[in-house]
Chain A
Amino acid sequence: MSPRATKALEPAATDPARIRNFCIIAHIDHGKSTLADRMLQLTGIVQERDMRAQYLDRMDIERERGITIKSQAVRMPWASDGETYALNMIDTPGHVDFTYEVSRSLAACEGAILLVDAAQGIEAQTLANLYLALENDLEIIPVLNKIDLPAADPEKYAAELANLIGGRPEDVLRVSGKTGMGVDALLDRVVERIPAPKGDATAPARAMIFDSVYDAYRGVVTYIRMVDGKLTPRQRIQMMSTRATHELLEIGVSSPEPTPSKGLGVGEVGYLITGVKDVRQSKVGDTVTDSVKPASEPLAGYTDPKPMVFSGLYPIDASDYPELREALDKLKLSDAALNYEPETSVALGFGFRCGFLGLLHLEIVTERLEREFGLDIITTAPSVVYEVTTEDKKTVTVTNPSEFPTGKIDSVREPVVRAAILAPKDYVGTIMELCQSRRGTLIGMDYLSEDRVEIKYFMPLGEIVFDFFDNLKSRTQGYASLDYEPAGDQEADLVKVDILLQGEQVDAFSAIVHRDKAYAYGVLMTGRLRELIPRQQFEVPVQAAIGARIIARESIRAIRKDVLAKCYGGDITRKRKLLEKQKEGKKRMKMVGRVEVPQEAFIAALSGDTERKEKDK
């Protein structure tokens, strides 16, 4: 394959009519990164020998999970009907947790490729992003990917897509990101169908930040979409939300490696570097303008990302606390949505209460802490934000069960979400059963195609963060997909259930649950802990309580024998090594009063993995 465009258009001097800005909307695993790889090769900006799989996914963790967390923009030259164009592909994050980032990426585009796996059809999350794209008036180009797969059913899913967005099934393009089949036709379609950007070249500069990435060598790299005016190197710029000014040290485009340019003009997409070290100074959604001749109005749509899910992060080894703080400080540089503050737990010692956009965000952060910073950490059960009003009409915001007021409670409000679940119709019964058991209220049901249904529920977010998704997946053999968006809050009869070991409350195991489920939670947790905590030198009662009232009780019997009968022909060394190993094991225990609780007990009890100990035997 040889590139069609022989000479790329120069940034800062490109007629907006020759620019096409688009993104790819796709579910995880539907092949977005592989399709992007083919585009990089086909347009000639990455040579065959430099190619590596999922080129744009920079971080290891992204490549391993096959998902894109940080979006980027790549400028690619493409000739169609004898004219050369600059195509800006804006990579969007593909997960529900990053909806806000997705919405900003979409706002930087005029069109979107809707990429759907020809063997699986559209997923709930893709539907949510498609909805956002339509809200932003983007031109949608429907594409079926992986048509080379034996299991592909392009007829069926083309019809489903046509039914969804209008148009005819024949208009749905068919490509294979793996073989490259149909990718050139797709790029031609992008030129043909997606509108050119519009903007006022003479107005004061306005550019929207759609991503902001921390780079250890260069500081924060800010990705922008120019709307009006022009930005040039050395210019002083201003962030309109904070009024902070910076000097433009470098401005350019990614193709796909960063390439400095003489500037960026109307409709162009590129990056800028000012030397700031913290992504919070370059917030996604903010407007960049000229500090001498600032624009009067910022671009619309900026909001601060709001954490939805909270969890305590604690080092397994208490002496790692300073390292954990340092690691979070570093992560914050590249993750504007992460926030945290110090917290103390009786059971776990010193740690941090962290706010996340959602469960995946939590998982990614903990994984990065372990992988990039070599830390062993415990995460407490995820919690949401409750507004608790006490009898004396004081309202407390509770992000951690330990903050739940102890006195008489007047009312508790909890966040609710509008959840959309997409699944084959055979699973409707079991999904509804699950949602009902999680206090869901059915909103409605739509058939996307003959056998695929979208089921919508109002549900408390607190029910979703506690292993709802795992449950959903296992009930539907993995076929169901889930998306949710905030839908306000509601009053609910919620109580705090505490877990006591030998009479001492273990705050890490406390949970806020609905009164009707408190007993079940208590029985579940005490049972799990009895299995997970090894026998001690004394009997350990394990209790669940609401306030002073015990609702469930188990007991861990005292260990009676812990001695090796003999040493082996004077092999004292072996006995000593064994002792050293045992002591090493004890170090990984957390002391709750006098009870030694292994880390695995915390992790397993909180994650719902109850079978582990049995399996290990």
Chain B
Amino acid sequence: MPSSLPLGDPAPEDGLLPAQASAHAAQRDLGVYLHVPFCRVRCGYCDFNTYTATELRGVKQSDYADQAIAEVGFAARALEASGLPARRVATVFFGGGTPTLLPAGDLGRMLGAVRDAWGLAPGAEVTTEANPDSVDADDLMALADAGFTRVSFGMQSAVPHVLATLERTHDPARVPLVVQWARDAGLDVSLDLIYGTPGESLDDWRRSLDAALACAPDHLSAYALIVEDGTKLARQIRRGEVAEPDDDLTADMYELADAALEAAGYGWYEVSNWATSPEHRSRHNLSYWRGADWWGVGPGAHSHVGGVRWWNVKHPAAYAQRVLAGVSPAAGRETLDAETQRVEDVLLGVRISDGLPIAELGAEARREVAALIADGLIDGAAAVRGDIRLTLRGRLLADAVVRRLT
């Protein structure tokens, strides 16, 4: 089962936002996230809001694009009616689930709806996630033609037994192929890796890193496996069928990744993300950490506009019913007060290499800065220049740093 939604205030049916959401909005980027809640099979570790055919209770994947398009139209009207200025969209991100389970034509139509509603800013970043076994050369060409600029492949690992534990079905040999096809279509390429899978050794991880780097992507994400309650993997660990990931080993893996990527010319810009140059950083990803505005379209999707966060109903059937009736699909929302906003600014800002301006910290947190330098968790030179920037050790202990600064 997908994880549960946070508790919050009820969300109004008209989707109108409180006045605070429009303050300084012209200075913030607007992004759109489009969720595609379908997968061919559910992977054992995944607790994302996604559904296989048998879990869909009669919802048809072929109807989905129109539902998402309905929400895009609703979003544009709600933002305008809430008094937000007209902004062209800076980033679009199709995530899932597996967006490429939908025909490229559907994805193109959804992107077209975004373009019709707000317009795309010059040089807009338009990404879709894809599984290596869910796309071919023609699909990628079609996506590029539709206006996509970037594709992020869920490679996860190059080692068969690791992929098997993760229940990923693709053939690792296919990864270099799809990367080449994406290049041929003129798309930027990112690869996603997972480390810390039960049974994965440091050598296995090195093989995956080497294989990923051999594809020469523009961007690479490496996420430590998180064992989420309610997943099949969590049950297997509880029953003792697979070993729990070891924190010390995953720390070794992170350090190995950082060293290998730095050596290959990739720079970290967020705890789990590296890029060949600042231009190849994922701007959509960064917008989450920088507190930009984005509208999340689709079942279970999260949105943020000017300190107001909301999240949609999770099941595709409930979602379809709402959006087709012209009603907000939001299940709940929260309006951040100044203190919560301050905590979030630290929580999010600390994770990126641009750093968090020390000037934005409260007096108590500023007193902690020297100790963080002394403990080797933040960069002393950056702090002297006015920013909190994590060291390698600090990136591995980022949550502890956040606790000390909030």
**CB proximity of A380 to chain B, nearest CB, Å:** 28
> How long is the Cα–Cα vector from A562 to B251 in the complex, in angstroms?
9
| A252-260, A313-321, A576-584 - the one binding chain B | A576-584
B6 engages A569 (CB within 8 Å): no
> Does A2 reach chain B (CB closer than 8 Å)?
no
- Contact of B403 (CB < 8 Å), options: A565, A571, A576, A586: A586
Question: Is A570 a contact partner of B288 (Cβ separation < 8 A)?
Answer: yes
The stretch among B51-59, B67-75, B164-172, B297-305 that forms the contact with chain A is B297-305
Specify the main secondary structure of chain A where it touches its partner: loop
Q: Could you tell me if A563 and B6 are in contact, using CB atoms closer than 8 angstroms?
A: no
Alpha-carbon distance A575/B347, docked complex (angstroms): 9
The answer to whether A569 and B8 touch across the interface, beta carbons within 8 angstroms, is no
Q: Are A570 and B251 in contact (CB under 8 A)?
A: no
Q: Find out whether the CB atom of B396 lies under 8 angstroms from the CB atom of A560.
A: yes
A576 to B309, CA, bound (A): 12
Q: Which residues of B contact A217 (CB under 8 A)?
A: none
B402 interfacial contact with A, CB 8 Å: yes
Q: Which of A537, A562, A563, A568 contacts B3, CB < 8 Å?
A: A568
Chain A residues, Cβ within 8 Å of B247:
559-561
A576 touches B344 (CB 8 A): yes
Known contacts A561-B247, A566-B272, A579-B403: does B309 contact A572 (CB below 8 Å)? yes
Question: Chain A: how many interface residues by the 8 Å CB criterion?
Answer: 25
Instruction: Please tell me if B248 contacts chain A, counting CB pairs below 8 Å.
Output: yes
Judge whether B400 is part of the interface by a CB distance below 8 angstroms. yes
A559 touches B223 (CB 8 A): no
- Given the known interface contacts A573-B6, A579-B406, A583-B406, the answer about A562 and B340 at a Cβ–Cβ threshold of 8 Å is no
Please report which residues of chain B, range 1-55, place their CB below 8 angstroms from some CB of chain A when the two chains form the complex.
3, 6, 8, 33, 35, 48-49
Which residues of A572-617 have CB atoms within 8 Å of chain B's CB atoms? Answer: 572-577, 579, 582-583, 586
Partner of A574, one of B6, B248, B303, B403: B6
Shortest Cβ gap from A408 to chain B (Å): 40
The verdict on B182 contacting chain A, using a C-beta distance below 8 Å, is no
State whether the Cβ of A538 lies closer than 8 Å to any Cβ in chain B.
yes
Q: A569-B35, A569-B48 are in contact. Are A579 and B402 (CB under 8 A)?
A: yes
A538 contact set on B, CB distance < 8 A: 375
Question: Taking the complex as formed, is A548 at the interface, i.e. its CB lies under 8 A from any CB of chain B?
Answer: no
Chain A residues with CB under 8 A of B400: 537, 559, 562
A573: chain B residues at CB < 8 Å are 6, 8, 302, 309, 311, 334
Q: List the B side residues contacting A582 at CB < 8 Å.
A: 399, 403
A593 to chain B, nearest CB (A): 13
A564 within 8 A of B: yes
Which residue of A559, A560, A562, A569 contacts B302 across the interface (Cβ within 8 Å)? A569
Return A41 CB to nearest CB of chain B, in Å.
52
Interface residues of A in 220-248 (CB under 8 A from B): none
| Residues of chain B from 202 to 250 with CB closer than 8 A to chain A in the complex | 222-224, 226, 247-248, 250
Take A559-B247, A560-B248, A564-B226 as given contacts and tell me if A572 and B304 are in contact as well, using a CB distance cutoff of 8 Å: yes
Say yes or no for A216: interface residue by CB 8 A criterion. no
Contacting residues, chain B, for A559 (C-beta < 8 A) = 247, 397, 400
Report the bound CA distance from A576 to B288 in whole Å: 13
Q: When chains A and B are docked, how far (Å) is the Cα of A562 from the Cα of B8?
A: 27
Residues A577 and B48 in contact, CB atoms below 8 Å apart: no
**Which of A567, A576, A577 counts the most chain B CB atoms within 10 A?**
A576
CB contacts (< 8 Å) of B402 on chain A: these are 579
Q: A560-B396, A565-B223, A579-B343 are known contacts. Are A572 and B403 too (CB-CB below 8 A)?
A: no
Contacts of A537 on B, CB cut-off 8 Å?
375, 377, 397, 400
Give Cα distance in the complex from A319 to B328, angstroms: 46
Are B395 and A563 closer than 8 Å at their CB atoms?
A: yes
The interface residues of chain A lying within 8 Å CB-to-CB of B395 are 563
A-chain residues with CB within 8 Å of residue B35 when the two chains form the complex: 569
B397/A565 in contact, CB under 8 A: no
Chain A residues contacting B397 (CB-CB under 8 Å) are 537, 559-563
**A54 CB to closest chain B CB, in angstroms?**
42
Chain A proximity of B373: nearest CB distance (Å): 13
Question: Smallest CB–CB gap between B399 and chain A, Å?
Answer: 5
Q: How far does the alpha carbon of A575 sit from the alpha carbon of B3 in the complex, in Å?
A: 13
Chain A proximity of B299: nearest CB distance (Å): 11
Write out the residue numbers on chain A whose beta carbons fall within 8 Å of the beta carbon of B406. Answer: 579, 583
Docked pose: A569 CA to B222 CA in angstroms: 16
A563 touches B303 (CB 8 A): no
Instruction: State the CA gap A190–B343 with chains docked (Å).
Output: 74
Write the A302-325 contact mask toward B (1 if CB under 8 angstroms, else 0). 000000000000000000000000
B-chain residues with CB within 8 Å of residue A579 when the two chains form the complex: 343, 347, 399, 402-403, 406
Known contacts: A569-B48, A569-B301, A570-B302. The answer to whether A562 contacts B399 by CB under 8 A is: yes
Most-contacted residue by chain B among A563, A566, A579, A583 (CB, 10 A): A563
**What is the distance, in angstroms, from B43's C-beta to the closest C-beta of chain A?**
15
List residues of chain A with CB within 8 A of the CB of B343. Answer: 576, 579
Q: Which of chain B's residues has its CB closest to A583's CB?
A: B403
Which residues of B have CB within 8 Å of A563?
Answer: 271, 395-399
Q: Across the interface, which residues of A come within 8 angstroms of B153, CB to CB? A: none
Check if B294 sits within 8 Å of A562, measured CB to CB.
no
Please tell me if the beta carbons of B48 and A568 are within 8 angstroms of each other in the complex: yes
- B95 within 8 Å of A by Cβ? yes
Q: Is B348 interfacial (CB-CB < 8 Å)? A: yes
Residue of A nearest to B288 (CB): A570
Question: Residue B154 at the A interface, CB < 8 A?
Answer: no
Q: Is B296 an interface residue (CB 8 A)?
A: yes
Determine the chain A residues whose CB is within 8 A of the CB of B95 once the complex forms.
569
* Residue from A564, A572, A574, A583 with most neighbouring chain B CB atoms (10 Å): A572
Docked pose: A565 CA to B300 CA in angstroms: 20
Asked whether any CB of chain A lies closer than 8 Å to the CB of B254, the reply is yes
Query: How far apart are B107's CB and chain A's nearest CB, in angstroms?
Result: 17
Nearest-CB residue, chain A, relative to B228: A568
Instruction: Give the complex CA separation of A569 and B288 in angstroms.
Output: 9
Q: Which residue, of A560, A570, A575, A586, has the highest number of chain B Cβ atoms within 10 A?
A: A570
Chain A positions 532-567 with a Cβ under 8 Å from a chain B Cβ: 537-538, 559-567
Asked if A572 and B399 make an inter-chain contact with CB atoms under 8 angstroms apart, the answer reads no
A residues within 8 A CB of B302? 569-573
**B33 & A564 in contact (Cβ 8 Å cutoff):** no
Interface string of B314-326 (1 = CB under 8 A from A): 0000000000000
B222 contact set on A, CB distance < 8 A: 565
* One of A561, A565, A569, A583 near B296 (C-beta < 8 A): A569
- The contact string, 1 if C-beta is below 8 Å from chain A, for chain B 328-345, is 000000100000100110
* Proximity string of chain B (347-377) to chain A, C-beta cutoff 8 Å, 1 when within and 0 when not: 1100000000000000000000000000101
- Which residues on B sit within 8 Å (CB–CB) of A575? 347
Once the chains are docked, how many angstroms separate the CA of A555 from the CA of B401? 23
Residues of B within 8 A of A567 (CB): 288
**Which residues of the other chain, A, contact B250 by a CB distance below 8 angstroms?**
561
Asked if A572 and B348 sit within 8 Å, CB to CB, the answer is yes
Asked if A576 and B399 sit within 8 Å, CB to CB, the answer is: no
Closest to A573 in B: B6
| A-chain residues with CB within 8 Å of residue B303 when the two chains form the complex | 570
Of A560, A568, A569, the contact of B251 (CB 8 Å cutoff) = A560
Q: Which residues on the A side are within 8 Å of B296 (C-beta)?
A: 569-570
Residue of B nearest to A535 (CB): B247
Q: Smallest Cβ distance from A154 to chain B, in angstroms? A: 51
Complex-state Cα separation, A571 to B347, whole angstroms: 13
Contact of B344 among A561, A566, A572, A586 (CB under 8 A): A572
- Additional A-B contact list (20), CB under 8 Å, known A570-B288, A570-B304: A559-B400, A561-B247, A561-B250, A561-B251, A562-B398, A563-B271, A563-B395, A563-B399, A565-B222, A565-B224, A565-B271, A566-B223, A568-B3, A569-B301, A572-B347, A573-B334, A579-B399, A579-B403, A579-B406, A583-B403
A to B CB contacts below 8 Å, 29 in the list: A537-B377, A537-B400, A559-B400, A560-B248, A562-B397, A562-B400, A563-B271, A563-B399, A564-B399, A565-B222, A565-B226, A565-B271, A566-B226, A568-B3, A568-B48, A569-B33, A569-B35, A569-B300, A569-B302, A571-B311, A572-B348, A575-B347, A576-B343, A576-B347, A577-B6, A579-B347, A582-B403, A583-B406, A586-B403
